[in-house]
Amino acid sequence: MKADEPLKSLIKEIGHFIGGKHVSGGSGRFGDVFNPTEGRVTARVALASKIDAEAAIANAQAAFPDWSNTSPLTRARVMFRFKELIEKNMEELALMISSEHGKVLSDAKGSIQRGLEVVEFACGIPHLLKGEFSDSVSAGMDVFSMRQALGVCAGITPFNFPAMVPMWMFPMAIACGNTFVLKPSEKDPSCPMRLAELLLEAGAPPGVLNVLNGDKEAVDTLLTSQQVKAVSFVGSTPIARYVFATASLNGKRVQSMGGAKNHMIVMPDADIDSATEALMGAAYGSAGERCMSISVAVPVGERTGNQLIEAMAPRVRALKIGSSVDSASEMGPLVTQVHRDKVKGYVDLGVKEGASLVVDGRGYRQQDKPNGFFLGGSLFDNVNRDMRIYKEEIFGPVLSVLRARNFEEAIALPNEHEFGNGVAIFTRDGDVARNFAQKVQCGMVGINVPIPVPLSFHSFGGWKNSMFGDMNQHGPEGVRFYTRVKTVTARWREGVAPKADFGMPLSR
């Protein structure tokens, strides 16, 4: 037996979940799944062929007629049971996420909870699908509307939230009467597969939710299939733009969420301690691998900037970095070595561009996990708007401080940036806060809230190059996205039939 054979025997194989069953797929292609803390391969995931993708779509298509004709009340009851099963299996799901993504357990559980809130919202689908009714708009005539399911819907989701982002999509789509094909990230596929098992256990018929693991071949099949009626995507802006263009060209409804460069403005009247604590969690939580992470702090005034750097630097140096499953860890590793090295390269670039590297996380080593994909937190000061570390999404534990002289200069930064996902301001002045909320050009705004992700009964979505499409994720916008309106005009008249009217129909 070769030395590495015992390790190979521990590597599990992950296929697809199609028609209520685990299937291996027929492509013969696989991707490696890592444990980022250990820096070793723990699984192989099948990368779907076009035939595999078409099988998932066909199963969803076959399940659609019966599921769409199932009453909204029955669908809601499935969602209630699904909610209970997620709560029951919370620890298992969180461990899957931490082991394959690298985020700490508290963050993993929090992300599941935020996804669970969308399931809770979907439990109200009988009310959410109610249409409108107008009585007696004309003699013996009523008008009413109904919202009906689209058909097969698809979701393409990123590695950083393998539970939350899928749950932003498929519970709403399925509660509305659609069937769904989920293409999660191949970097951390175990949790989405488990969610599909739990939905089946909750009473959803086979084929209502299918999980298709894969890469571009699977994605392109979903984007071009005539059976897929709507596509939801979360990921980087170049791919978001590609998904939107390709799916739209093929006649689909699309919501495509892209990248971000989220600013947090710190006004001179802000409590520096509160702003510092907010920035620590918002910039370094989940190792910065969040589309709503704060990656740019904008202190207003020289004194505010100096105070903020003085408060932040020791906190960043003291970050508790360690195993993702250690309850003492504040920050775990990054998802892969390739991504870790890419983020490290941005720190190199910032130094080259002339920014002041106040805290350098490049040399961090985890003594008991030498092969893990760890990186310390980095803090830059004196960043300017021409630097690439300001312009581009880094998606790692790197915070740039770009100082502004006044409020007008500060608000111009997010307004003129190509991304418009989220933004925040810390201030005690209500006039400034209201003015900021009215004028800032971003889709989600926080006032003394660093990560303003809306709750499930509101909708999530950015502006500018952070989103392509017209309708946001979850909340009321989610219901509208996953349904289409049918308006019925009905006349019930006693007596003699009216004569033909060749003019424009008018209300009388």
- Euclidean distance between CA atoms 397 and 378, whole angstroms: 6
Q: Domain check: are 429 and 478 in the same one? A: no
Paired with 183 in beta bridges are: 156
Q: What is the pLDDT along the chain (508 residues), one digit of tens a residue?
A: 354 555 555 789 999 999 999 999 999 999 999 999 999 999 999 999 999 999 999 999 999 999 999 999 999 999 999 999 999 999 999 999 999 999 999 999 999 999 999 999 999 999 999 999 999 988 888 999 999 999 999 999 999 999 999 999 999 999 999 999 999 999 999 999 999 999 999 999 999 999 999 999 999 999 999 999 999 999 999 999 999 999 999 999 999 999 999 999 999 999 999 999 999 999 999 999 999 999 999 999 999 999 999 999 999 999 999 999 999 999 999 999 999 999 999 999 999 999 999 999 999 999 999 999 999 999 999 999 999 999 999 999 999 999 999 999 999 999 999 999 999 999 999 999 999 999 999 999 999 999 999 999 999 999 999 999 989 999 999 999 999 999 999 988 766 667 777 877 776 6
Regarding whether 89 and 223 lie in a shared domain, the answer is yes
Provide the pLDDT for residue 486: 96
Asked, for residue 459, whether it belongs to a domain, the answer is no
Identify whether residues 88 and 202 lie together within a single domain.
Answer: yes
- How far is 432 from 444, CA to CA, in rounded Å? 17
What pTM was computed for the model?
0.95
In this structure, the answer to whether residues 114 and 132 fall within a common structural domain is yes
**CATH assignment at residue 294:** 3.40.309.10
Residue 144 counted as domain residue: yes
Position 32 in a domain: yes
Whether residues 201 and 149 share a domain: the answer is yes
Whether residue 505 is contained in a domain is answered as no
pLDDT at 140: 83
Establish how many alpha carbons lie within 13 A of residue 19's alpha carbon, considering only the half-sphere containing its beta carbon. Answer: 13
493 falls within a domain: no
CA distances to 3, 94, 222, 278, 376 from 60, rounded to whole Å, are: 44, 28, 12, 43, 44
Same domain, 316 and 356: yes
Domain termination residue (choose one: 417, 447, 477): 447
Same domain? 370 vs 387:
yes
Q: Are residues 217 and 278 in the same domain?
A: no
Tokens 């020289």 found at? 302
Within 13 Å and on the Cβ side, how many CA atoms surround 63?
Answer: 25
Residue 2 domain-assigned (yes or no): no
| 225 and 85 part of one domain | yes
Q: What is the pLDDT of residues 326-357, one digit of tens each?
A: 999 999 999 999 999 999 999 999 999 999 99
Domain span at residue 285 reads 262-447
Q: Based on the domain organization, do 79 and 182 belong to the same domain?
A: yes
Least Cα distance to 14 among 32, 38, 40 occurs for 32
**Of 123, 153, 176, 291, which is the active-site residue?**
291
The answer to the question of residue 497 being in a domain is no
Q: How many domains does the chain have?
A: 2
377, 392: one domain: yes
pLDDT tens column, 148-190: 999 999 999 999 999 999 999 999 999 999 999 999 999 999 9
Residues 292 and 247 placed together within one structural domain of the fold = no
**Residue 140's domain is classified under what CATH number?**
3.40.605.10
The question of whether 176 is a catalytic residue gets the answer: no
Query: Is there a domain that residue 460 lies in?
Result: no
